[in-house]
Structure 1
């Protein structure tokens, strides 16, 4: 995955003064900011870092055995109850972003307030789960949308392609190293 826009090495690129300012800024209500470019940059770095960690996780551990939250069972049950026919392997951004989709997602998301920490925090979501995070394959979503879709992908075997591909690559590397 490429570095976030603006360069740097993620949150590690912030000095102590900038990190303290970022921590303070993230504790303020959203209304205090408008479209502050510094805050947007910090959010983008944090979202990028989360995406990298998650992709590494599903590449390293069989996704069918992953537990992403304490509420995975509840999230999955409610997700499939509310979005029975939604294909999670390859998403259409309109299933998340269109007016009717937002109206359907809003009550789903709100039911997890107080259950899932930062349930409405912005995160990055892959559209095609067989691919990595690229500009073309990534959409902005709320954290609870991310969890709902990724829990479904994990339980329904959709993320297995990433894990299998990583295992094959590791096996090939080990053969070359020992050969």
Structure 2
């Protein structure tokens, strides 16, 4: 019988990391190309944008969409647990809900090595919808 999966102690396989990186870069390039043509406030990222936004506001009431993301807080033990619970709600509702993606730390910046963090797709959706 296999042991339960513990995300805190999981090893990363190099090929899997490369595949995630390729998908994440494809996603960011597509999103940025759209943002260059359409204001973010006019975008619909999913069919559930309104529900995601309301849920996000309930779970993260102190989130300021204009402020830079505090990655340390987001990825702290408490932050991870809160986000895991949020993300889990979309397991059967949003395809690729837990895929890795690249998230801009601030809404006023372009994608760059110093202005982005790695996040889950639902974190990306929630934060970009709020912005």
TM-score class, shorter: 0.7 to 0.9
1:83 corresponds in structure 2 to 60
Higher helix share: 1
What is the total number of aligned residue pairs between the two structures? 120
Using the alignment, how far apart are the partners of 1:41 and 1:135 within structure 2?
17
TM-score where L is the length of structure 2 = 0.85
How far does residue 132 in structure 1 lie from its aligned partner after superposition? 1.1
CA RMSD for the aligned pairs? 1.3
CA offsets 1:59-80 (integer angstroms, 9 cap, x no match): 1112211100011011000000
Using the alignment, how far apart are the partners of 1:46 and 1:99 within structure 2?
26
After superposition, residues 18-33 of structure 1 pair within 5 angstroms as none
Using the alignment, how far apart are the partners of 2:15 and 2:60 within structure 1?
36
- Radius of gyration: which is bigger? 1
Q: 1:37 aligns with which of 14, 18, 23?
A: 14
1:65 corresponds in structure 2 to 42
1:139 corresponds in structure 2 to 117
After superposition, residues 99-118 of structure 1 pair within 5 angstroms as 99-118=77-96
Q: 1:123 aligns with which of 101, 122, 125?
A: 101
After superposition, residues 156-171 of structure 1 pair within 5 angstroms as none
Using the alignment, how far apart are the partners of 2:97 and 2:16 within structure 1?
19
Using the alignment, how far apart are the partners of 2:70 and 2:103 within structure 1?
12
In structure 2, stretches of 5+ residues that fail to align are 1-10
TM-score where L is the length of structure 1 = 0.63
In structure 1, stretches of 5+ residues that fail to align are 1-33, 154-179
Q: Tell me which of the two structures has the higher relative contact order, counting C-alpha pairs closer than 8 angstroms and 6 or more residues apart.
A: 2
